[in-house]
Amino acid sequence: MQRAVALLAAAMLWTGAAQAAPSAPPTVAVTGGTIAGTTDDRGTLLFRAIPFAAPPLGDLRWRPPAPVVPWLGRREATRPGASCLQNDYGWNHADYVRASEDCLTLDVATPALAGKRPVMVWIHGGSNRAGSAGETVRASLAARGVVLVAVQYRLGLLGYLPHRALAAEQGGHTGNYGLMDQIAALRWVQANIARFGGDPANVTIFGESAGAQDVGLLLAAPDTKGLFARAILQSGTPSFGLPWRPLDQALRLGDQLDALLGTGGSIAPLRAASAHALLEADKALHDPALQHDDFLWLRTTIDGAVLPRDPQTLLQEAPARPVIIGSNRAEFGLPGGRPHRDADVDDAFGAKTDKARAFYRLDAPDPAADPRLGDRDLRISTDILFRCPAGRLSDLLSGAGWPVWRYEFDLAPDGGRSFHGAEIGYAMEGRSLGPAITLQDYWLDFARSGRPAPAGKPAWPAYAPGRRHVIFDAHGATPGADLAATPCDWMDRI
């Protein structure tokens, strides 16, 4: 009897231990090997730091991304990967601290491994010189029936440097390695995302700021054909209203780097240079066509490979895809500040500068700041870098038969003015715009169907005809028209 009680007690203890034991981690076989992820408190499956290309180290520095290096056994995919190498600009300090050249990874979040869900691929912002995938895949967006992917790509001079020795080595083409990384990540998605419950035929790419610029360039790049179905550009366009950078001008950046480091035009010592030396040199590079070198890696280089011609021409030749394009009511101040304001206006409006100066009343005293638009300089900056280029891009694409939806976002979590990036939390976390309306609803419906028309929500009319759009603000979603009126019609840049 005592032995039976003991056996029963042991059985109960074993059963309790079995119930308390953690479930096996979700595992997926991907290009390169098997990965093991984890499950968050929403029940979403998370897979972190999955390699989509070989580490771009040593001889692979400044080359197109190479195939993934296979691994043996099961690779743990439960922790964020390193950020790509970058300088410290303050706002990106956490990414700077954990940065490495070995950074070509992506994160995936999915409700389940079975199924055929829409896929949304996020390309982070940061002026193409900073930032990371961060904690994107922990956003609530991933719990609402889509597979969410967040991509990392080479930044700054490691991601975008044009150099004469590289051009000689690479068939006359050089630069835009960060864009090549993004294309490699999209190819990885095509090859692997079905194993995460995603539909490779239903991929939406989306990004903010430089990420939106890169989305626009991916729409233009011929090599992306078949890699995604639609796109969302949040506060960024293919050039941010800046002039394209021809390759002959771009090569002068490489010349500057040679002079700074004393490398004599050879690529071998640059590939052997320390990361610290390259980051310090990056801060000293200068583009005379820009009013401020914060935008150095936002001026788009026509490299001849990823972008064989200027993106405006390439977009006119590209297959039509549904696109959402938008900007925030007040983004950020002028590059270089007030001393460069007149030059910025001259650069943006060209032959129409006198009209633009009269429109903004630049020869009059500063007016009082508008409660939503901000002061005059903020309004000018928002117009020439964001609102007007978004309008010109919308005109270009809708005129070529693309389905286009345009928005303006005017809300901030603290109740103040909108600011650059203010909409991200509303799209990723589903913060409320008003009674039962979220930006996330429209983004998700667009990803599912190619139209931002969630059931029971205010209608969002297509952009053309009449330049129709929707304003997202504290009142919810309000349709309007003629957002891209004066002075944007005096600009011709996207």
210: Cα separation from own chain's centroid: 6
Contacts of 202 (CB under 8 A, 6+ apart): 118, 119, 229, 447, 448
Distances (CA, A) of 303 to 157, 167, 370: 14, 9, 41
Contacts of 160 (CB under 8 A, 6+ apart): 128, 154, 175, 176, 177, 178, 297, 301
Report how far residue 115's alpha carbon sits from residue 436's, in angstroms, rounded to the nearest whole number.
Answer: 28
Q: Which residue of the set 132, 209, 239, 394 is catalytic?
A: 209
Count of alpha carbons within 13 angstroms of residue 252, beta-carbon side: 9
**In the 8-state DSSP scheme, what is residue 63?**
S
- 331 among known catalytic residues: yes
Q: Which residue of the set 331, 408, 418, 469 is catalytic?
A: 331
Report how far residue 168's alpha carbon sits from residue 36's, in angstroms, rounded to the nearest whole number.
Answer: 42
147 touches 197 (CB < 8 A): yes
- 209 among known catalytic residues: yes
Tell me whether residue 245 is exposed, middle or buried, using C-beta atoms within 10 angstroms of its C-beta: 0 to 12, 13 to 18, 19 or more: buried
Report how far residue 120's alpha carbon sits from residue 234's, in angstroms, rounded to the nearest whole number.
Answer: 14
Report how far residue 459's alpha carbon sits from residue 479's, in angstroms, rounded to the nearest whole number.
Answer: 7
Which of these, 172, 166, 136, 176, lies nearest to 47 by C-alpha position? 136
333 touches 417 (CB < 8 A): no
Tokens encoding 218: 């991916």
Q: Which residue of the set 124, 163, 173, 420 is catalytic?
A: 420
Q: Which residues are catalytic?
A: 209, 331, 420
